[in-house]
Amino acid sequence: MPLGTLYLIPVPLAEEASAKSFTPYLVDTINSIKEYIVENEKTARRFLKEAGLKTPQSELIVHDYGKHNRADGNAEFFKGLQAGNSVGLMSEAGCPGIADPGAEIVEKAHRMGIKVVPLVGPSSILLALMASGFNGQSFTFHGYLPIDKVLRTKKIKELESITEKLDQTQLFIETPFRNNSLLDDILKSANPKTRLCIACDLTAATELVQTKTIAEWQKKVPELHKRPTIFLLFHR
């Protein structure tokens, strides 16, 4: 029996941003499948409704791969795929597999010989890079920096050195409620001439994307508390 296809379905980055986030092909795809592997079931079901799902949600099979459901190997997630059914993989926000534990699902699908199809949709990392004005041909995403202030300051200086030496954009994030603390450390430790792009609330009505030097940011510091944010460093 032929194996099914695993579709990687991007999810909007912000509320009321669905119209900016999905394509007609994505809508057609979600209406052709009835089984999903999702990081957050509540978010996934809301998105499917907003995207125009016609199938009654009571008929869907939804597997949760949230942090409490990853220890057992998740063999049940692949039964439908092994039976020849198409299945959708959805992150809580953005693209599955990018800064997202769904990468483990994709890796296992490849090992099993299952076809993987990525769909077009929003990625906060790429949107931030596009809008930054920084080098889009050479860049590195570091995820979260250390929480310890001493280690974090050391890491910021290290990234600043890399971007100056390699002409490479450095991207990183923080848990939204710690954004202000991270920004404070960046402004205190980075060279005044280094450029920092802050990309916040991407695709939302409150979106902020600005690139300034550290010295310029020090004059007026934005409020980032509990606002999803990508930070980008570049020195030229």
Residues 175 and 219 in one domain: yes
Determine the pLDDT at residue 167: 96
78-89 pLDDT per residue, tens: 999 999 999 999
Rounded-to-integer distance, Cα 86 and Cα 29, Å: 9
Residues 29 and 98 in one domain: yes
Whichever domain contains 110, its CATH number is: 3.40.1010.10
Give the Cβ contact number of residue 22 at 10 Å.
Answer: 24
- Check whether 138 has a pLDDT greater than 60: yes
11: tokens are: 């999810």
Place of tokens 């792009």: 197
Amino acid letter, residue 86: S
pLDDT over 90, % of the chain: 87
Q: Which of 75, 90, 118 is the last residue of a domain?
A: 118
Place of tokens 């900016």: 20
- Going across the sheet that includes 35-38, the strands are 61-64, 35-38, 87-90, 5-9, 115-118
Mean pLDDT over 131-160 rounds to: 97
Q: Are 171 and 163 in contact (CB under 8 A)?
A: no
pTM value?
Answer: 0.91
Place of tokens 């100056």: 164
Place of tokens 């978010």: 43
Residues 213 and 131 in one domain: yes
Whichever domain contains 210, its CATH number is: 3.30.950.10
**3-state SS class at 213:** strand
- Check whether 68 has a pLDDT greater than 80: no
DSSP 75-143: GGGGHHHHTT--EEEE-SSB-TTSSSTTHHHHHHHHHTT-EEEEPP---HHHHHHHHH-S-SSSEEEEE
112: tokens are: 């099993």
Q: What's the domain count of the chain?
A: 2
Q: Provide the pairing of β-strand 5-9 with 87-90.
A: parallel
pLDDT level of residue 1 (50, 70, 90 thresholds): confident
Residues 40 and 101 in one domain: yes
Residues 50 and 143 in one domain: no
Rounded-to-integer distance, Cα 165 and Cα 186, Å: 19
Residues 105 and 129 in one domain: no
- Mean of per-residue pLDDT scores for the chain: 94
**What residue numbers bound the domain in which 31 lies?**
5-118
Residues 65 and 87 in one domain: yes
Determine the pLDDT at residue 79: 94
- Going across the sheet that includes 195-200, the strands are 139-144, 169-173, 229-234, 195-200, 208-213
Enumerate residues 6+ apart whose C-beta is below 8 A from 153.
185, 188, 189
- Check whether 18 has a pLDDT greater than 60: yes
Determine the pLDDT at residue 28: 95
